[in-house]
């Protein structure tokens, strides 16, 4: 692998087999209800989502921070900072009703000038 994603080799067979059987049981439950022309149950779908999410969370290998390596290799220096903004909120319309304004949001940014002559803007976390 390339250092990121899900590493299935990290799962013990003592974990993989019960989780796999539980997923098969959830899918079987949904198929059984569909074949009987009944409404599809939400419980096995939620259980399957939680199981798959747990496996992904437990086996995920984060990607190393490439920016730090690039910044050191290209002698990047901070040349500017930009403050982010958000323009969403709650207000009152001209008719007197309450309204939620869903606007955009931009994060704080830092500008770096590197020895390749390019200024890179990096979002702050």
Distances (CA, A) of 122 to 15, 37, 54, 62, 104: 40, 53, 31, 19, 18
pLDDT tens digits along 9-35: 777 888 888 888 999 999 999 999 999
Tell me how far apart the alpha carbons of residues 33 and 55 are, in angstroms, rounded to a whole number: 26
Q: DSSP labels for 75-111?
A: T-EEEEEE--EE--EEEE-TTS-EEEE---EE--EEE
Q: Which pLDDT score, from 0 to 100, does residue 6 have?
A: 63
SS3 (DSSP) at 8:
helix
Residue in 29, 66, 67, 62 with CA at minimum distance from that of residue 48: 29
For residue 1, what pLDDT is reported?
43
Contact between 115 and 74 (Cβ < 8 Å): yes
* Residues 6+ positions from 82 with CB-CB distance below 8 Å: 108, 109, 110, 111, 121
Tens of pLDDT, residues 72-101: 999 999 999 988 888 778 888 888 888 887
For the whole model, what pTM was predicted? 0.46
- Is 64's pLDDT higher than 80? no
């Amino acid at each position: 692998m390339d250092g990121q994603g899900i590493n299935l080799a990290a799962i013990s067979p003592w974990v993989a087999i019960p989780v796999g059987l539980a997923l098969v049981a959830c899918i079987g439950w949904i198929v059984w209800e569909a074949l009987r022309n009944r409404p599809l149950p939400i419980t096995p779908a939620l259980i399957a989502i939680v199981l798959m999410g747990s496996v992904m969370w437990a086996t995920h290998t984060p990607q190393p921070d490439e920016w730090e390596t690039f910044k050191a290799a290209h002698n990047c220096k901070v040349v500017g900072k930009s403050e982010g903004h958000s323009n969403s909120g709650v207000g009152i319309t001209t008719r007197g009703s309450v309204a939620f304004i869903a606007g955009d949001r931009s994060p704080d940014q830092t500008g770096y000038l590197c020895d390749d002559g390019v200024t890179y803007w990096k979002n702050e976390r």
